[in-house]
Structure 1
Amino acid sequence: MPDGGFCKLPGGSVVVALSLPSPAAEGVTVRILVHAANRSRALTRLRNLGLRAYLRGNTHPPTPDEVTAVLHHPEGLLWRTTPSRALELWHPIGALLRP
Structure 2
Amino acid sequence: MAAGGFCKLPNGSVVVALNLPGLGPAGGTDGGTARVRVLVLAQNRARALTRLRNLGLRAVYLRGNAAPPSPDEITAVLHHPDGLIWRTAPDNGVIATELWHPIRALLRGTAVARP
Q: Same fold (TM over 0.5)?
A: yes
Pairwise CA RMSD: 2.0
Question: Of 88, 104, 114, which residue of structure 2 is paired with 1:94?
Answer: 104
Q: Per the alignment, in what secondary structure is the counterpart of residue 5 of structure 1?
A: strand
Residue of structure 1 equivalent to 2:40: 34
TM-score (norm 2): 0.75
Match of 2:49 in 1: 43
Segments of structure 2 that go 5 or more residues without pairing to the other structure are: 25-29, 110-115
The residue number in structure 2 matching 1:63 is 70
Aligned partner of 1:8 in structure 2 is 8
Q: TM-score, normalised by structure 1?
A: 0.86
After the TM superposition, list the runs of 4 or more consecutive aligned residues in structure 1 that deviate by more than 4 angstroms.
none
Alpha-carbon contact 1:80-1:91 (below 8 Å) kept: yes
Amino acid at match of 1:39: R
Shift of 1:95: 0.5
Structure 1 77/53 Cα, relative in aligned 2: closer, same or farther at 3 Å?
A: same
Matched residue count: 96
Give, in angstroms, the shift of residue 55 of structure 1.
3.5
Distance 2:62 2:20 in 1: 7
CA contact (8 A) 2:89 2:96 kept: no
Of the two, which has the highest radius of gyration? 2
1:79 correspondence with 2:86: yes
Q: Could you tell me the percent identity over the aligned residues?
A: 69
Report the CA distance between 1:59 and its aligned residue.
Answer: 2.8
1:2-58 CA-partner distances (Å, limit 9, x unpaired): xx6000000000000000002124341000000000000000000001111244676
SS of structure 1 residue aligned to 2:59: helix
Please identify which structure carries the higher helix content: 1
